[in-house]
């Protein structure tokens, strides 16, 4: 099953996320990417690496939790419960 492809970009008023990789860890999915805050004037925002753990149910995201780094997301997926619905 393909969950997402490299190069996917999600844009919201809070900023944009570019998905770099999506991996499965047991029953969970870990998305790794870069977050870019909204631009102030003509200067681009500073991108930072981020991660998220997603639980899927019936092909849809049932829970997700963002993390400050892909490494934190991978560690959480390997044992910590996901808390955001």
Q: pTM score, two decimals?
A: 0.73
Residues 38-80: tens digit of each pLDDT: 877 666 668 899 999 998 888 788 998 999 999 999 999 988 6
The predicted structure's pLDDT at residue 79 = 84
The CATH fold of domain 9-77 = Nuclear Transport Factor 2; Chain: A, (3.10.450)
Residue ranges per structural domain of the chain:
9-77
Residues 22-32: tens digit of each pLDDT: 898 888 889 99
What residue ranges in 1-85 does DSSP mark as E strands?
9-12, 15-25, 28-36, 48-57, 60-67
């Amino acid at each position: 099953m393909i969950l997402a492809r490299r190069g996917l970009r999600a844009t919201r008023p809070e900023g944009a996320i570019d998905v770099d990789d999506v991996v499965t860890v047991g029953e969970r999915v870990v998305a790794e990417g870069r977050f870019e805050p909204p631009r102030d004037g003509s200067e681009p925002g500073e991108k930072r690496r981020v991660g998220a753990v997603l639980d899927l149910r019936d092909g849809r995201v049932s829970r997700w939790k963002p993390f400050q780094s892909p490494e934190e997301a991978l560690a959480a997926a390997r044992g910590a419960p996901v808390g955001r619905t």
